[in-house]
Structure 1
Amino acid sequence: MEKLRVTLLQTEILWESIDENLLRYTEKIKDIQNTDLIILPEMFSTGFTMEPSPVAEKESGKAVQWMIKMATSKEIALTGSLVIEENGNYYNRLFFIFPDGNYTTYDKKHLFSLAKEHANYSAGSEKISIDYKGFKICPLICYDLRFPVWARNVEEYDVLIFVANWPDKRVKAWDALLKARSIENMCYTIGVNRVGTDGNDIFYSGHSAVYDVLGDKISAQFLETECIKTITLDKKSMVEARNNLGFLRDRDEFSLK
């Protein structure tokens, strides 16, 4: 497949209100047509809470089951991160649900110490690469965006995704780093951020975006309010740019520990 239709959901998140958030997402998703992948923000069912115990779910919990239901009923892939409890530990875990209901997960590697995320959650240690409709996708979470070595395209991925709760006070860094990751990795880079104010009175202004392999924004400017947009990624043009310029052939070789 040469094209991938991706839908970005830039939404408000009701603070620690799983049932209400899932109902709101259901209403938003039901009318989305002609897409292959829907991307939700980080901790989309709760907001970026540092009190995981009251809201954490198992992988068998309602939010994951809701994701599976949405993906299978719409025959699309669906991704976003949730607060998950496993063996007494809490994780900021991204789920990538395939149209048949199977899924793969990624645990956030870089925990946001400024907000004490490292004191409340356990860090992941493995990147993942997902093959979907002819595209290789690398999904990461929010603060991972600040660490270019972790994001480096050593897996030959085509699409780099960041789901986020990135505050407005540092949104200039969000804009700059998304563009930088696309340029240095010669890939499509997608950032999906939330909007609104959370339970800690932190304001989020969105700025969700899609950049091409040269760092050009291919999505129209998102408003700083709730917004849904579908973008088509063209693999042929990406491969041609890579072959013509050859920048990835000159990258350093290394292994992450």
Structure 2
Amino acid sequence: MKIALVQMDVAHGQPVENKKHVKEMLERALVANPDVIVLPEMWNTGYALDELDGLADKEGLESQEFLSQFAREHAVAILGGSVAIERDGKFYNTTYVYNKSGDLINIYSKVHLFGLMAEDRYMSAGAAESIFELDGVIAASVICYDIRFPEWVRTQMAQGAKVLFVVAQWPEPRVQQWEILLKARAVENQAFVVAVNRVGAGPDPDDIFSGHSMIIDPLGNVVLQAKEHEEGIFTAEINLEEVDRVRGQIPVFEDRRTDLYY
């Protein structure tokens, strides 16, 4: 599976500008002929949470049409980062996944809301898992703060997932924790972790995002490390047979004590 990571800046509260930028980045990603392209978290609005009433994508329809059309026209799967959407009078941080035919194969709304960036004040939490099959491979996806909850990730990975996609706006001061957590999720679940983080700055001077997007193999080795503080398309190919090999050597999932814990 060849994967293209889109590491990009996000303009605060500018969904029209951001959509145009995302389209340009998706087109750049096509050069490497990837199987799947991965976008960052909240690429449509950024964390303009107090403006969501006028900015959030209603029912996610515009984002869905945009991503579906691009996937279909270019025969490429898209892990659509996440977007701020409005549904039934509430706001959600939601990921859409499309296959190469442009079919919507997964919807996931962020389960763990991050209080330090006021998500819990403005947004509602999701309440569903994020498991899907992409090109015949079972995969899962989570959003940013979710990676601090290994029990949530394991709940999904235990269903046979070989790849965990992570989309984020993870601030630079905690980027060392980002790398540690991603490696831990890869090792404990014996799976590839594909993680995309944004670059740039938010309206708060303390919100600096350095990127540090990564692909990590089932043994915790870094397959790809994106340049920090730089926009770009970063591509790598992963061999999914490595997952089976590692799981065969140390059968973590078979050895779990589900009579004591889930």
Classify the TM-score, shorter chain.
over 0.9
Structure 2 residue aligned with 1:248? 253
Structure 1: how far apart are the matches of 2:259 and 2:204? 40
2:239 to 234, 241, 248: 234
Counterpart AA for 1:191? A
Superposed displacement of residue 98, structure 1: 1.9
Change (3 A) 1:16 1:252: farther
Structure 2: how far apart are the matches of 1:255 and 1:78? 38
Structure 2: how far apart are the matches of 1:229 and 1:253? 39
Answer yes or no: is the 8 Å Cα contact 1:6–1:230 preserved in 2: yes
Answer yes or no: is the 8 Å Cα contact 1:186–1:248 preserved in 2: no
Q: Encode CA deviations 1:21-58: one digit per residue, 9 max, x unaligned.
A: 11112222223231111110000111123222121112
The yes-or-no answer on 1:16 pairing with 2:13 is: yes
The yes-or-no answer on 1:29 pairing with 2:26 is: yes
Unpaired runs of 5+ in structure 1? Answer: none
Structure 2 residue aligned with 1:176? 180
List 4+ stretches of structure 1 deviating above 4 A: 254-257
Structure 2 residue aligned with 1:41? 40
Tell me whether 207-216 or 153-162 shows the greater mean CA deviation: 153-162
Answer yes or no: is the 8 Å Cα contact 2:4–2:235 preserved in 1: yes
1:110 to 104, 109, 112: 112
Structure 2 residue aligned with 1:58? 58
Root-mean-square deviation (CA, aligned residues, Å) is 1.8
Superposed displacement of residue 65, structure 1: 1.6
Structure 2: how far apart are the matches of 1:255 and 1:42? 35
Q: TM-score under structure 1 normalisation?
A: 0.93
Answer yes or no: is the 8 Å Cα contact 1:5–1:231 preserved in 2: yes
Structure 1 residue aligned with 2:90? 89
Question: What is the correspondence of 1:209-220 to structure 2 with a 5 Å cutoff?
Answer: 209-220=214-225
Matched residue SS, 1:207: coil
Structure 1: how far apart are the matches of 2:210 and 2:161? 29
Percentage of identical aligned residues: 32
Structure 1: how far apart are the matches of 2:246 and 2:125? 35
Unpaired runs of 5+ in structure 2? Answer: none
Q: TM-score under structure 2 normalisation?
A: 0.91
Change (3 A) 1:214 1:86: same
Change (3 A) 1:124 1:175: same
Answer yes or no: is the 8 Å Cα contact 1:167–1:205 preserved in 2: yes
